[in-house]
Amino acid sequence: MTQSHIAIVDCNNFYVSCERVFNPQLCNMPVVVLSNNDGCIIARSNEAKALGIPMGAPYFKWKRMIEDSGVAVMSSNYALYGDMSSRVMQVLAAIAPAIEIYSIDESFLDFSNLPDTLNPVDLADRLRQQVAQWTGIPVSIGMASSKTLAKIANRLAKKNPSKHGVANLTDPTEIATTLAATDVEDIWGIGRRWARMLKACNIMTAADFRSCSDSWVRQKMGVVGLRTLHELRGIPCVSLELESPDKKSICVSRSFSTPVMEHAALTDRLSDFASRAAAKTRKTGLVAGYITVFVRTNRFQKDRPQYSNAVTLTFPEMTAHTADILAATRQGLAHIYRPGYEYKKAGVLLTNLMRQDMTPQSLWTHAGSPKTLIVKEKRNKLMQAFDGINGRFGHGSIAYGIAKRKNNWFMRQEKVSPRYTTRWEDLPTV
DNA sequence: TCTGGGGTCCTAGGACCC
DNA sequence: TCTGGGGTCCTAGGACCC
Protein backbone atom coordinates (compact mmCIF):
# COMPACT_ATOMS: atom_id res chain seq x y z
CA MET A 1 0.00 0.00 0.00
CA THR A 2 1.27 3.44 -0.87
CA GLN A 3 1.43 6.34 1.53
CA SER A 4 -1.71 8.48 1.52
CA HIS A 5 -1.17 12.02 0.32
CA ILE A 6 -3.99 14.54 0.31
CA ALA A 7 -4.07 18.13 -0.92
CA ILE A 8 -6.61 20.73 0.07
CA VAL A 9 -7.20 23.67 -2.21
CA ASP A 10 -8.79 26.62 -0.41
CA CYS A 11 -9.82 29.83 -2.17
CA ASN A 12 -8.39 32.84 -0.35
CA ASN A 13 -11.12 35.04 1.20
CA PHE A 14 -13.40 33.55 -1.44
CA TYR A 15 -16.37 35.95 -1.53
CA VAL A 16 -14.08 38.98 -1.41
CA SER A 17 -11.94 37.51 -4.19
CA CYS A 18 -15.05 36.97 -6.36
CA GLU A 19 -16.02 40.61 -5.94
CA ARG A 20 -12.48 41.73 -6.77
CA VAL A 21 -12.40 39.78 -10.04
CA PHE A 22 -15.11 42.05 -11.42
CA ASN A 23 -14.29 45.18 -9.47
CA PRO A 24 -10.50 45.60 -9.32
CA GLN A 25 -10.85 48.83 -7.38
CA LEU A 26 -11.48 46.56 -4.39
CA CYS A 27 -7.95 45.12 -4.64
CA ASN A 28 -5.35 46.24 -2.09
CA MET A 29 -7.98 47.73 0.20
CA PRO A 30 -9.95 46.34 3.13
CA VAL A 31 -13.22 44.66 1.99
CA VAL A 32 -15.94 42.78 3.86
CA VAL A 33 -18.92 40.81 2.53
CA LEU A 34 -22.17 40.67 4.52
CA SER A 35 -24.67 37.84 5.05
CA ASN A 36 -28.34 37.98 4.09
CA ASN A 37 -30.13 41.07 5.37
CA ASP A 38 -26.67 42.65 5.65
CA GLY A 39 -26.65 41.07 9.11
CA CYS A 40 -23.20 39.58 9.75
CA ILE A 41 -19.70 39.88 8.34
CA ILE A 42 -19.04 36.56 6.59
CA ALA A 43 -15.93 37.29 4.51
CA ARG A 44 -12.98 39.61 4.99
CA SER A 45 -10.01 40.56 2.87
CA ASN A 46 -6.57 40.26 4.49
CA GLU A 47 -6.58 44.04 5.03
CA ALA A 48 -9.93 43.79 6.85
CA LYS A 49 -8.62 40.91 9.00
CA ALA A 50 -5.59 43.04 9.87
CA LEU A 51 -7.95 45.74 11.15
CA GLY A 52 -9.23 43.21 13.69
CA ILE A 53 -12.71 42.71 12.21
CA PRO A 54 -13.78 39.23 13.34
CA MET A 55 -15.52 36.55 11.29
CA GLY A 56 -19.29 36.35 11.83
CA ALA A 57 -19.53 39.62 13.75
CA PRO A 58 -22.82 41.55 13.54
CA TYR A 59 -22.36 44.32 10.98
CA PHE A 60 -24.11 47.00 13.03
CA LYS A 61 -21.55 46.62 15.82
CA TRP A 62 -18.68 47.33 13.42
CA LYS A 63 -20.37 49.72 11.04
CA ARG A 64 -18.88 52.83 12.62
CA MET A 65 -15.35 51.46 12.68
CA ILE A 66 -15.73 50.14 9.12
CA GLU A 67 -16.82 53.54 7.82
CA ASP A 68 -14.07 55.35 9.71
CA SER A 69 -11.41 53.00 8.33
CA GLY A 70 -12.58 53.18 4.73
CA VAL A 71 -13.50 49.50 4.47
CA ALA A 72 -15.49 48.59 1.32
CA VAL A 73 -18.72 46.75 2.16
CA MET A 74 -20.55 44.35 -0.16
CA SER A 75 -23.84 42.49 0.32
CA SER A 76 -23.50 38.79 -0.54
CA ASN A 77 -24.17 37.75 -4.13
CA TYR A 78 -24.58 33.98 -4.05
CA ALA A 79 -25.41 33.69 -7.74
CA LEU A 80 -21.94 35.09 -8.49
CA TYR A 81 -20.10 33.04 -5.85
CA GLY A 82 -21.79 29.78 -6.85
CA ASP A 83 -20.89 30.29 -10.48
CA MET A 84 -17.28 31.27 -9.71
CA SER A 85 -17.00 28.22 -7.46
CA SER A 86 -17.99 25.82 -10.21
CA ARG A 87 -15.44 27.45 -12.55
CA VAL A 88 -12.66 26.96 -10.00
CA MET A 89 -13.70 23.34 -9.40
CA GLN A 90 -13.75 22.64 -13.14
CA VAL A 91 -10.16 23.80 -13.50
CA LEU A 92 -9.07 21.61 -10.56
CA ALA A 93 -11.00 18.59 -11.83
CA ALA A 94 -9.41 18.92 -15.27
CA ILE A 95 -5.87 18.73 -13.87
CA ALA A 96 -5.97 16.77 -10.61
CA PRO A 97 -6.27 12.97 -10.44
CA ALA A 98 -9.36 12.86 -8.18
CA ILE A 99 -11.36 15.58 -6.48
CA GLU A 100 -13.79 15.85 -3.57
CA ILE A 101 -15.65 19.18 -3.64
CA TYR A 102 -15.92 19.86 0.07
CA SER A 103 -17.55 23.30 0.19
CA ILE A 104 -18.15 26.32 -2.00
CA ASP A 105 -14.49 27.32 -1.72
CA GLU A 106 -12.57 24.12 -0.86
CA SER A 107 -11.67 20.85 -2.52
CA PHE A 108 -9.65 17.86 -1.39
CA LEU A 109 -7.49 16.26 -4.08
CA ASP A 110 -5.94 12.78 -4.08
CA PHE A 111 -2.18 13.14 -4.49
CA SER A 112 -1.41 9.52 -3.53
CA ASN A 113 0.15 7.47 -6.32
CA LEU A 114 1.49 10.40 -8.30
CA PRO A 115 4.06 9.26 -10.88
CA ASP A 116 7.66 9.58 -9.66
CA THR A 117 8.30 12.23 -12.27
CA LEU A 118 5.60 14.48 -10.81
CA ASN A 119 6.56 16.38 -7.68
CA PRO A 120 3.47 17.24 -5.59
CA VAL A 121 4.68 20.78 -4.97
CA ASP A 122 5.13 21.32 -8.71
CA LEU A 123 1.63 20.00 -9.36
CA ALA A 124 0.20 22.31 -6.68
CA ASP A 125 2.03 25.29 -8.17
CA ARG A 126 0.57 24.48 -11.56
CA LEU A 127 -2.95 24.23 -10.10
CA ARG A 128 -2.57 27.61 -8.40
CA GLN A 129 -1.38 29.30 -11.55
CA GLN A 130 -4.03 27.73 -13.73
CA VAL A 131 -6.89 28.67 -11.38
CA ALA A 132 -5.58 32.22 -11.10
CA GLN A 133 -5.21 32.56 -14.85
CA TRP A 134 -8.56 31.05 -15.83
CA THR A 135 -10.77 32.37 -13.03
CA GLY A 136 -8.90 35.21 -11.31
CA ILE A 137 -9.31 33.54 -7.90
CA PRO A 138 -6.20 33.12 -5.68
CA VAL A 139 -5.96 29.78 -3.87
CA SER A 140 -3.72 28.21 -1.24
CA ILE A 141 -2.81 24.53 -1.24
CA GLY A 142 -1.80 22.37 1.72
CA MET A 143 -0.65 18.77 1.46
CA ALA A 144 -0.11 16.02 4.02
CA SER A 145 -0.94 12.40 4.75
CA SER A 146 -4.36 13.13 6.30
CA LYS A 147 -7.10 15.70 5.72
CA THR A 148 -6.62 17.26 9.15
CA LEU A 149 -2.86 17.70 8.63
CA ALA A 150 -3.48 18.98 5.09
CA LYS A 151 -5.75 21.65 6.59
CA ILE A 152 -2.92 22.68 8.91
CA ALA A 153 -0.51 22.72 5.95
CA ASN A 154 -2.99 25.00 4.20
CA ARG A 155 -2.88 27.50 7.07
CA LEU A 156 0.90 27.39 6.86
CA ALA A 157 0.73 28.10 3.11
CA LYS A 158 -1.53 31.10 3.75
CA LYS A 159 0.32 32.53 6.74
CA ASN A 160 3.90 32.07 5.63
CA PRO A 161 4.75 34.25 2.59
CA SER A 162 7.90 32.24 1.88
CA LYS A 163 5.65 29.30 0.95
CA HIS A 164 4.09 31.15 -2.00
CA GLY A 165 0.69 29.61 -1.32
CA VAL A 166 1.81 25.97 -1.29
CA ALA A 167 2.91 23.87 1.71
CA ASN A 168 3.77 20.19 1.73
CA LEU A 169 3.82 18.96 5.33
CA THR A 170 5.62 15.61 5.37
CA ASP A 171 8.84 16.14 7.32
CA PRO A 172 8.32 14.98 10.95
CA THR A 173 10.32 17.88 12.36
CA GLU A 174 8.37 20.46 10.38
CA ILE A 175 5.10 18.76 11.38
CA ALA A 176 6.14 18.99 15.05
CA THR A 177 7.09 22.68 14.90
CA THR A 178 3.96 23.56 12.92
CA LEU A 179 1.68 21.75 15.38
CA ALA A 180 3.42 23.46 18.30
CA ALA A 181 2.63 26.81 16.64
CA THR A 182 -1.02 25.90 15.98
CA ASP A 183 -3.64 26.88 18.54
CA VAL A 184 -5.84 23.94 19.53
CA GLU A 185 -8.97 25.78 18.36
CA ASP A 186 -7.53 26.08 14.85
CA ILE A 187 -7.58 22.32 14.36
CA TRP A 188 -10.19 21.13 11.84
CA GLY A 189 -12.79 19.32 13.97
CA ILE A 190 -12.14 21.25 17.19
CA GLY A 191 -14.78 23.92 17.66
CA ARG A 192 -15.32 26.53 20.37
CA ARG A 193 -16.73 24.17 22.99
CA TRP A 194 -14.04 21.55 22.78
CA ALA A 195 -11.32 24.20 22.56
CA ARG A 196 -12.57 25.67 25.83
CA MET A 197 -12.66 22.24 27.47
CA LEU A 198 -9.14 21.39 26.23
CA LYS A 199 -7.68 24.70 27.33
CA ALA A 200 -9.20 24.22 30.75
CA CYS A 201 -7.11 21.02 30.85
CA ASN A 202 -4.01 23.00 29.80
CA ILE A 203 -4.00 21.57 26.29
CA MET A 204 -3.20 24.72 24.35
CA THR A 205 -1.66 23.70 21.01
CA ALA A 206 -2.14 21.04 18.36
CA ALA A 207 1.13 19.50 19.60
CA ASP A 208 -0.29 19.25 23.15
CA PHE A 209 -3.45 17.64 21.80
CA ARG A 210 -1.52 15.18 19.65
CA SER A 211 0.24 13.79 22.72
CA CYS A 212 -3.00 13.13 24.64
CA SER A 213 -3.86 9.49 25.26
CA ASP A 214 -6.43 7.73 23.10
CA SER A 215 -8.53 6.72 26.09
CA TRP A 216 -8.73 10.25 27.51
CA VAL A 217 -9.74 11.73 24.16
CA ARG A 218 -12.24 8.93 23.56
CA GLN A 219 -13.83 9.55 26.93
CA LYS A 220 -13.98 13.35 26.63
CA MET A 221 -14.72 13.76 22.92
CA GLY A 222 -16.08 10.47 21.64
CA VAL A 223 -15.05 8.76 18.44
CA VAL A 224 -15.08 12.06 16.55
CA GLY A 225 -12.33 13.50 18.74
CA LEU A 226 -10.40 10.25 18.53
CA ARG A 227 -10.48 10.43 14.76
CA THR A 228 -9.06 13.96 14.83
CA LEU A 229 -6.32 12.79 17.20
CA HIS A 230 -5.24 10.01 14.86
CA GLU A 231 -5.43 12.28 11.82
CA LEU A 232 -3.02 14.67 13.57
CA ARG A 233 -0.62 11.75 14.02
CA GLY A 234 -0.75 11.27 10.26
CA ILE A 235 -3.11 8.29 10.21
CA PRO A 236 -5.87 9.05 7.70
CA CYS A 237 -9.32 8.38 9.24
CA VAL A 238 -11.47 10.65 7.06
CA SER A 239 -11.34 9.31 3.53
CA LEU A 240 -11.85 11.18 0.30
CA GLU A 241 -15.49 11.17 -0.88
CA LEU A 242 -15.23 11.16 -4.64
CA GLU A 243 -18.94 10.65 -5.24
CA SER A 244 -21.06 13.24 -3.50
CA PRO A 245 -23.67 11.35 -1.49
CA ASP A 246 -27.36 12.28 -1.75
CA LYS A 247 -28.51 14.99 0.64
CA LYS A 248 -30.32 13.86 3.76
CA SER A 249 -32.14 17.12 4.37
CA ILE A 250 -33.00 20.23 2.40
CA CYS A 251 -33.74 23.44 4.28
CA VAL A 252 -34.85 26.91 3.25
CA SER A 253 -35.01 29.46 6.04
CA ARG A 254 -34.53 33.19 6.45
CA SER A 255 -34.44 35.86 9.07
CA PHE A 256 -36.78 38.75 8.37
CA SER A 257 -35.40 42.27 8.13
CA THR A 258 -38.38 43.47 10.18
CA PRO A 259 -40.44 41.25 12.49
CA VAL A 260 -43.62 39.60 11.20
CA MET A 261 -46.70 39.22 13.41
CA GLU A 262 -49.65 38.28 11.20
CA HIS A 263 -50.53 34.73 10.29
CA ALA A 264 -51.19 35.71 6.67
CA ALA A 265 -47.85 37.45 6.29
CA LEU A 266 -46.02 34.48 7.79
CA THR A 267 -47.89 32.20 5.40
CA ASP A 268 -46.66 34.27 2.46
CA ARG A 269 -43.04 33.97 3.46
CA LEU A 270 -43.20 30.31 4.38
CA SER A 271 -44.96 29.59 1.08
CA ASP A 272 -42.04 31.14 -0.74
CA PHE A 273 -39.57 29.05 1.31
CA ALA A 274 -41.66 25.93 0.65
CA SER A 275 -41.64 26.38 -3.11
CA ARG A 276 -37.89 27.05 -3.09
CA ALA A 277 -37.34 23.90 -1.03
CA ALA A 278 -39.54 21.89 -3.42
CA ALA A 279 -37.60 23.14 -6.44
CA LYS A 280 -34.24 22.33 -4.77
CA THR A 281 -35.49 18.82 -4.00
CA ARG A 282 -36.64 18.18 -7.57
CA LYS A 283 -33.36 19.51 -8.92
CA THR A 284 -31.45 16.80 -7.06
CA GLY A 285 -33.87 14.08 -8.20
CA LEU A 286 -35.11 13.45 -4.68
CA VAL A 287 -38.48 13.23 -2.95
CA ALA A 288 -39.24 13.94 0.71
CA GLY A 289 -41.00 11.86 3.35
CA TYR A 290 -41.29 14.44 6.13
CA ILE A 291 -41.58 18.18 6.39
CA THR A 292 -40.71 20.31 9.41
CA VAL A 293 -42.01 23.86 9.63
CA PHE A 294 -40.48 26.15 12.24
CA VAL A 295 -40.87 29.71 13.46
CA ARG A 296 -39.08 31.74 16.12
CA THR A 297 -38.94 35.19 17.63
CA ASN A 298 -35.75 37.25 17.91
CA ARG A 299 -33.55 35.38 20.37
CA PHE A 300 -31.34 38.43 20.91
CA GLN A 301 -34.18 40.54 22.26
CA LYS A 302 -34.36 38.93 25.66
CA ASP A 303 -36.76 41.55 27.02
CA ARG A 304 -39.40 40.69 24.37
CA PRO A 305 -41.74 37.68 24.68
CA GLN A 306 -40.00 34.64 23.21
CA TYR A 307 -41.59 31.82 21.28
CA SER A 308 -40.07 29.09 19.18
CA ASN A 309 -41.80 26.04 17.82
CA ALA A 310 -41.61 23.42 15.11
CA VAL A 311 -43.89 20.70 13.80
CA THR A 312 -43.10 17.71 11.63
CA LEU A 313 -45.66 16.21 9.26
CA THR A 314 -45.46 13.01 7.21
CA PHE A 315 -46.46 13.07 3.55
CA PRO A 316 -48.96 10.33 2.68
CA GLU A 317 -46.74 9.60 -0.30
CA MET A 318 -43.17 10.82 -0.77
CA THR A 319 -43.17 13.95 -2.86
CA ALA A 320 -41.27 16.91 -4.29
CA HIS A 321 -44.39 18.49 -5.77
CA THR A 322 -44.78 22.17 -4.95
CA ALA A 323 -48.52 21.82 -4.32
CA ASP A 324 -48.01 19.05 -1.74
CA ILE A 325 -45.24 20.93 0.04
CA LEU A 326 -47.20 24.18 0.09
CA ALA A 327 -50.26 22.47 1.53
CA ALA A 328 -48.24 20.79 4.26
CA THR A 329 -46.43 24.03 5.08
CA ARG A 330 -49.72 25.87 5.61
CA GLN A 331 -51.04 23.02 7.70
CA GLY A 332 -47.87 22.98 9.78
CA LEU A 333 -47.91 26.72 10.34
CA ALA A 334 -51.53 26.56 11.49
CA HIS A 335 -50.37 24.15 14.22
CA ILE A 336 -47.57 26.30 15.59
CA TYR A 337 -48.64 29.88 14.91
CA ARG A 338 -49.48 31.86 18.05
CA PRO A 339 -50.76 35.41 17.71
CA GLY A 340 -49.08 38.27 19.54
CA TYR A 341 -45.43 37.39 18.88
CA GLU A 342 -42.90 39.22 16.73
CA TYR A 343 -41.53 36.49 14.48
CA LYS A 344 -37.98 37.02 13.28
CA LYS A 345 -37.15 33.79 11.50
CA ALA A 346 -38.97 30.88 9.89
CA GLY A 347 -38.17 27.97 7.65
CA VAL A 348 -39.08 24.71 5.98
CA LEU A 349 -37.00 21.54 6.32
CA LEU A 350 -37.53 18.47 4.14
CA THR A 351 -36.18 15.16 5.45
CA ASN A 352 -36.27 11.41 4.89
CA LEU A 353 -35.20 12.15 1.33
CA MET A 354 -34.98 9.40 -1.23
CA ARG A 355 -34.19 9.08 -4.91
CA GLN A 356 -37.45 9.43 -6.77
CA ASP A 357 -36.96 6.15 -8.65
CA MET A 358 -36.47 4.25 -5.36
CA THR A 359 -39.71 5.49 -3.82
CA PRO A 360 -41.97 2.88 -2.24
CA GLN A 361 -45.54 3.03 -3.55
CA SER A 362 -48.42 3.82 -1.25
CA LEU A 363 -50.87 0.99 -0.58
CA TRP A 364 -53.84 3.20 -1.12
CA THR A 365 -53.20 4.78 -4.48
CA HIS A 366 -52.95 1.55 -6.49
CA ALA A 367 -49.77 2.96 -7.85
CA GLY A 368 -49.57 0.64 -10.76
CA SER A 369 -53.01 1.36 -12.18
CA PRO A 370 -53.06 3.15 -15.52
CA LYS A 371 -55.17 5.99 -14.17
CA THR A 372 -52.77 6.80 -11.31
CA LEU A 373 -49.81 6.63 -13.63
CA ILE A 374 -51.40 9.18 -15.94
CA VAL A 375 -52.14 11.54 -13.05
CA LYS A 376 -48.55 11.21 -11.77
CA GLU A 377 -47.15 11.78 -15.22
CA LYS A 378 -49.22 14.96 -15.58
CA ARG A 379 -48.14 16.27 -12.18
CA ASN A 380 -44.49 15.62 -13.01
CA LYS A 381 -44.76 17.36 -16.37
CA LEU A 382 -46.34 20.37 -14.71
CA MET A 383 -43.38 20.59 -12.33
CA GLN A 384 -40.90 20.22 -15.20
CA ALA A 385 -42.49 23.14 -17.02
CA PHE A 386 -42.58 25.11 -13.76
CA ASP A 387 -38.86 24.51 -13.12
CA GLY A 388 -38.02 25.32 -16.73
CA ILE A 389 -39.66 28.73 -16.53
CA ASN A 390 -38.19 29.60 -13.13
CA GLY A 391 -34.78 28.34 -14.23
CA ARG A 392 -34.82 30.69 -17.20
CA PHE A 393 -36.39 33.76 -15.69
CA GLY A 394 -35.53 33.44 -12.00
CA HIS A 395 -37.26 31.98 -8.98
CA GLY A 396 -40.82 33.23 -8.53
CA SER A 397 -41.36 34.08 -12.22
CA ILE A 398 -44.15 31.53 -12.04
CA ALA A 399 -45.67 30.47 -8.71
CA TYR A 400 -48.72 28.90 -7.18
CA GLY A 401 -51.37 31.47 -6.30
CA ILE A 402 -50.94 30.87 -2.59
CA ALA A 403 -47.16 31.12 -2.82
CA LYS A 404 -47.18 34.56 -4.30
CA ARG A 405 -49.04 37.54 -3.04
CA LYS A 406 -47.27 40.83 -3.01
CA ASN A 407 -43.60 40.24 -2.40
CA ASN A 408 -43.14 43.54 -0.69
CA TRP A 409 -40.80 42.09 1.90
CA PHE A 410 -37.53 42.13 0.06
CA MET A 411 -34.34 41.27 1.85
CA ARG A 412 -32.20 44.15 2.92
CA GLN A 413 -29.29 44.05 0.48
CA GLU A 414 -28.00 47.52 0.00
CA LYS A 415 -24.61 46.89 -1.57
CA VAL A 416 -25.03 43.92 -3.87
CA SER A 417 -22.85 43.53 -6.94
CA PRO A 418 -24.31 42.66 -10.37
CA ARG A 419 -24.64 38.98 -11.32
CA TYR A 420 -21.72 39.35 -13.72
CA THR A 421 -21.55 35.76 -14.85
CA THR A 422 -25.11 34.48 -14.64
CA ARG A 423 -27.29 37.24 -16.14
CA TRP A 424 -26.94 38.60 -19.65
CA GLU A 425 -27.92 42.12 -18.59
CA ASP A 426 -25.19 42.12 -15.94
CA LEU A 427 -22.33 40.98 -18.16
CA PRO A 428 -19.42 43.36 -17.72
CA THR A 429 -18.44 45.23 -20.87
CA VAL A 430 -14.81 45.75 -21.80
C1' DT B 1 -33.10 50.46 14.46
C1' DC B 2 -29.45 46.58 13.06
C1' DT B 3 -27.10 39.58 15.17
C1' DG B 4 -26.84 34.39 8.25
C1' DG B 5 -27.97 30.04 6.15
C1' DG B 6 -27.29 25.28 5.16
C1' DG B 7 -25.52 21.13 6.27
C1' DT B 8 -23.35 16.39 8.76
C1' DC B 9 -22.50 12.97 12.33
C1' DC B 10 -22.70 11.03 17.04
C1' DT B 11 -24.74 9.97 21.50
C1' DA B 12 -27.77 9.38 25.35
C1' DG B 13 -31.95 8.01 26.75
C1' DG B 14 -36.72 6.44 26.20
C1' DA B 15 -39.96 3.15 24.08
C1' DC B 16 -40.63 -1.22 23.00
C1' DC B 17 -39.86 -6.18 22.50
C1' DC B 18 -38.69 -10.92 23.92
C1' DT C 1 -36.98 -4.67 52.86
C1' DC C 2 -38.27 -7.44 46.78
C1' DT C 3 -38.73 -5.29 41.14
C1' DG C 4 -33.99 -9.13 34.98
C1' DG C 5 -31.30 -8.54 31.10
C1' DG C 6 -30.38 -7.60 26.60
C1' DG C 7 -31.36 -5.97 22.16
C1' DT C 8 -33.18 -2.56 18.53
C1' DC C 9 -35.14 1.60 16.94
C1' DC C 10 -36.09 6.36 17.18
C1' DT C 11 -35.44 11.12 18.45
C1' DA C 12 -33.68 15.32 20.47
C1' DG C 13 -29.88 17.68 21.29
C1' DG C 14 -25.07 18.64 21.02
C1' DA C 15 -20.94 18.89 18.69
C1' DC C 16 -18.82 20.16 14.40
C1' DC C 17 -18.12 22.20 9.39
C1' DC C 18 -18.17 26.20 5.77
Question: Average pLDDT of A366-372?
Answer: 62
What pLDDT is stored for residue A370 in this prediction? 67
User: How confident is the model at residue A426, as a pLDDT?
Assistant: 84
pLDDT of residue A393: 74
- Mean per-residue pLDDT, A394-414: 67
CATH no. for A14-79: 3.40.1170.60
Tell me the per-residue pLDDT of A126-170, one tens digit each, with 9 for 90 and over: 999 999 999 999 999 999 999 999 999 999 999 999 999 999 999
Average pLDDT value for residue range A321-344:
95
pLDDT at A225: 97
pLDDT at A394: 74
Residue A202's CB is within 10 A of a number of other CB atoms, namely 7
Q: What is the mean pLDDT of residues A256-278?
A: 96
pLDDT over threshold 70, residue A367: no
Percent of chain A with pLDDT over 70: 94
A56 touches strand B (CB under 7 A): yes
When pLDDT is cut at 50, 70 and 90, the band that residue A407 belongs to is low
pLDDT of A75-109, one tens digit each?
Answer: 999 999 999 999 999 999 999 999 999 999 999 99
Query: What value does the mean pLDDT of chain A take?
Result: 92
Mean pLDDT across A251-269: 96
Would you say the C-beta of A284 is within 7 Å of strand B? Answer: no
Distance A429 CA to C10 C1' (A): 57
What is the dotted CATH code of the domain comprising A81-117+140-233?
1.10.150.20
**Selected residue with higher pLDDT from A395 and A124:** A124
Instruction: State pLDDT tens for residues A10-57.
Output: 999 999 999 999 999 999 999 999 999 999 999 999 999 999 999 999
Q: Is the Cβ atom of A190 within 7 Å of strand C at any atom?
A: yes
**HEC-encoded secondary structure of chain A:** CCCCCEEEEEECCHHHHHHHHHCHHHCCCCEEEECHHHCEEEEECHHHHHCCCCCCCEHHHHHHHHHHCCCEEEECCHHHHHHHHHHHHHHHHHHCCCEEEEECCEEEEECCCCCCCCCHHHHHHHHHHHHHHHHCCCEEEEEECCHHHHHHHHHHHHHCHHHCCEEECCCHHHHHHHHHCCEHHHCCCCCHHHHHHHHHCCCCEHHHHHCCCHHHHHHHHHHHHHHHHHHHCCCCCCCCCCCCCCCCEEEEEEEEEEEECCHHHHHHHHHHHHHHHHHHHHHCCEEEEEEEEEEEECCCCCCCCCCEEEEEEEEEEEECCHHHHHHHHHHHHHHHCCCCCCEEEEEEEEECCEEHHHCCCCCCCCCCCHHHHHHHHHHHHHHHHHHHHHHHHCCCCCCCHHHCCCCCCCCCCCCCCCCCCCCHHHCCCC
A403 pLDDT band, cuts 50/70/90, is: low
- Please check the confidence at residue A292 and state whether its pLDDT lies above 70: yes
Q: Which residue is nearest to nucleotide B7 (CA to C1')?
A: A249
Q: List all nucleotides in chain B with at least one atom under 7 A from a protein Cβ.
A: 1-12
- Is any atom of nucleic acid chain B found less than 7 Å from the CB of residue A40? yes
Segments making up each domain of chain A, as ranges: 14-79, 81-117+140-233, 250-393
Instruction: Tell me what pLDDT residue A358 has.
Output: 75
Q: Is the pLDDT of residue A400 over 90?
A: no
Q: Is the pLDDT assigned to residue A406 strictly greater than 60?
A: no
Q: Is A84 exposed, middle or buried (0-12, 13-18, 19+ CB in 10 A)?
A: buried
The reply to whether the CB atom of residue A347 sits less than 7 A from any atom in nucleic acid chain B is: yes
The mean pLDDT of A265-273, rounded to a whole number, is: 96
Tell me which fold the domain A250-393 belongs to.
Answer: Dna Ligase; domain 1 (3.30.1490)
Distance (Å) from CA A90 to C1' C14?
Answer: 36
Asked if strand C comes closer than 7 Å to A151 Cβ, the answer is yes
A250-CA/C14-C1' distance, Å? 20
Interval A188-237: pLDDT, tens: 999 999 999 999 999 999 999 999 999 999 999 999 999 999 999 999 99
- Give the residue whose CA sits closest to C14 at C1': A193
Answer yes or no: is pLDDT of A63 > 90. Answer: yes
What is the pLDDT at residue A409? 58
